[in-house]
A and B are shown apart, each in its own frame.
Chain A
Amino acid sequence: EDQVTQSPEALRLQEGESSSLNCSYTVSGLRGLFWYRQDPGKGPEFLFTLYSAGEEKEKERLKATLTKKESFLHITAPKPEDSATYLCAVQLSGGSYIPTFGRGTSLIVHP
């Protein structure tokens, strides 16, 4: 069964303490992998789309990378405003384009 697993479930960092969030997937054929940020009480905000292994994308303190089995969201020198839940979603190739979402990683950055 296709699955998307995010780890850790929760992560607490001090401001400036860099770290990575993981999204591993067991799908047969990847069309795209998506990262979103969700603040409490709001809809997810799109961050990145990755399509092939080796691809990297950056936005401010965030960098997303993709391998054949997993994706990492690296957060460099995080600030308290980076606190949010980060969601990963996987879209399969050759079929429905409905993505499968992971459960998310709740990130708290302490000042």
Chain B
Amino acid sequence: GAVVSQHPSWVICKSGTSVKIECRSLDFQATTMFWYRQFPKQSLMLMATSNEGSKATYEQGVEKDKFLINHASLTLSTLTVTSAHPEDSSFYICSASPQGETQYFGPGTRLLVL
């Protein structure tokens, strides 16, 4: 149980384009989902908290106009990287919590912006 999927698993795009990443909780409902970014050999950096039916809460220093988050249902949250640039290249991971405690993570999406 408690499976979270992400799609796509990797994406390569040209600078200036937008990329959408989907995060789904497959066997439970998640009122809240989280989006993280991870650089090589570093720990997880929380970008934003996504609440179903309301606006996401962004961590300090994260541009909300660049990283658009939508939590359309209790099982789906999306992260759109708008006008992507090479510095946005990273490993993006989502997580979901069935009851606000233990977080279950997706497999991650590797983004490479050329």
Asked if A and B are interacting partners, one says: yes
- Whether the pair B103, A41 counts as a contact (CB closer than 8 A) is no
- The answer to the question of B110 belonging to the interface, with a C-beta cut-off of 8 Å to chain A, is yes
Contact with B along A33-51 (1 / 0, CB 8 A): 0101000011111100100
- Whether the pair B105, A43 counts as a contact (CB closer than 8 A) is yes
Q: What does DSSP make chain B's interface, helix, strand, loop or mixed?
A: strand
- Whether the pair B108, A46 counts as a contact (CB closer than 8 A) is no
- Whether the pair A102, B49 counts as a contact (CB closer than 8 A) is no
Total residue contacts A-B, CB cutoff 8 A: 49
Minimum distance in angstroms from B28 CB to a CB of chain A:
13
The stretch from B68-76, B79-87, B94-102 touching chain A is B94-102
- The answer to the question of B54 belonging to the interface, with a C-beta cut-off of 8 Å to chain A, is no
Among residues of A, the one whose C-beta sits closest to the C-beta of B105 is A43
| Chain B residues whose C-beta falls within 8 Å of the C-beta of A89 in the assembled complex | 103
Question: Can you list 18 residue pairs at the A/B interface with Cβ under 8 Å?
Answer: A31-B101, A34-B102, A34-B103, A36-B105, A42-B108, A43-B93, A43-B106, A43-B108, A46-B102, A46-B104, A49-B101, A87-B44, A91-B101, A97-B97, A97-B101, A99-B103, A102-B43, A104-B43
